[in-house]
Amino acid sequence: MESQRQNRNRDGKKPAGLCGLSDDLPPQQLAYPDWASYTLGVFICLSCSGIHRNIPQVSKVKSVRLDTWDDAQVEFMTSRGNHVARAAFESKVPPFYYRPSASDCQLLREQWIRAKYERQEFTYPERQEPYSAGYREGFLWKRGRDNGQFLSRKFVLTEREGALKYFNRSDAKEPKAIMKIEHLNATFQPAKIGHPHGLQVTYLKDNSTRNIFVYHEDGKEMVDWFNALRAARFHYLQVAFPGASDADLVPKLSRNYLQEGYMEKTGPKQTEGFRKRWFTMDDRRLMYFKDPLDAFARGEVFIGSRESGYTVLDGLPPSTQGHHWPHGITIVTPERRFLLACETESEQRAWMEAFRKVVDRPMLPQEYAVEAHFKHKP
């Protein structure tokens, strides 16, 4: 194995059997992984190697550089390789199932690896029933809107009704909330929620964003819920857009936020003091909260495209009054300017990049309807 790596270093080519990709993350994210599962015949990155070590009954791991390899192990790796393993273990991945990236949380990456190798869900489709059946119910720990306590709540997902519901009592006949699949998003937020399995679910209520925060102690259970929600969204969009391909629909199933963090803001008159708020950039909705775990935003701003009169400027107008953080951002909309301030220059750059990505993207027809609603808000 080491001689193979040395050969590659001399002629610049990859050795036979080493495809240069981690079998557990998308190809573009890794170059030459330095670890391998010698029982599965795949090369993996350092991060994924730790997960593989937790399933020793399936996967046994060695370092490509540091460990000793016998001839039989080298021959097995050469005969297998990542492409062969991927064909075997990913032959029946549902289009809606979330394939994690290197930047995703530990839970998503671990459950992807376990689903693929330990449970072989993508080899035997009948094992996908927990997230592909179109109906799911169970109990999740949900954060209370007012008291901040996590309490056990019954959740029901039904594709037939196109909704996710939750009940304050297990024997309650009427749900506390009905979240339409059409306007629902789910994203893992372990750091914000304070639990490694924390999931943030958002939906529109009276065209305003409503957040709920949930988790389950069993990581598989939580990821099954996440993929069940994606499956419901996928089937809804298939009906709504019958001519669309899977490749068109999959990016719309769930989305991570473009940017989140604290900034300071002032009011519409721009004479009020700056106040610290938690901001979330969700597609074209910029929302701000007093607390990151608030159920409702204190306010929402629609960020349109440059062609529609939106732009983002570095800094604040010279006439800006009041004490604020030193790194300003001015968002210009057709109606008014929004003045924001970041604590550090790196945070300002990250926000500016996120805003510019949105402003530089042409608006879709349905986004003009959303913009019109924002313009007519009281």
pLDDT at 375: 73
pLDDT at 38: 95
SS3 180: strand
Amino acid at 129: E
CATH class of 127-252: mainly beta
Tens digit of pLDDT for each residue in 131-183?
Answer: 999 999 999 999 998 888 999 999 999 999 999 999 999 889 999 999 999 99
pLDDT at 12: 36
Architecture in CATH for domain 259-376: Roll (2.30)
**Apex 375 CA angle, 374 and 378, nearest 5:** 80
Residue ranges of the chain whose pLDDT lies below 50: 1-22, 27-30, 378
Asked if 127-252 and 259-376 have one fold, the answer is yes
* Strands of 150-158's sheet in order across: 177-180, 163-167, 150-158, 135-143, 208-215, 199-205, 185-188
Task: Measure the CA–CA gap between 72 and 45, rounded to whole angstroms.
Answer: 22
Residue 2 backbone dihedrals phi, psi, to 5 degrees: -65, -35
Tens digit of pLDDT for each residue in 84-116?
Answer: 999 999 999 999 999 998 889 999 999 999 999
pLDDT at 205: 84
pLDDT at 366: 87
**Apex 363 CA angle, 358 and 369, nearest 5:** 120
Secondary structure of the chain: what % helix, strand, coil (to 5)? 35, 25, 40
Q: Which of 368, 217, 256 is nearest to 305 (CA)?
A: 368
pLDDT at 377: 62
pLDDT at 119: 97
Could you tell me the residue ranges of all domains in the chain?
A: 28-125, 127-252, 259-376
Tokens of 215: 């988790």
Q: What is the CATH number of domain 28-125?
A: 1.10.220.150
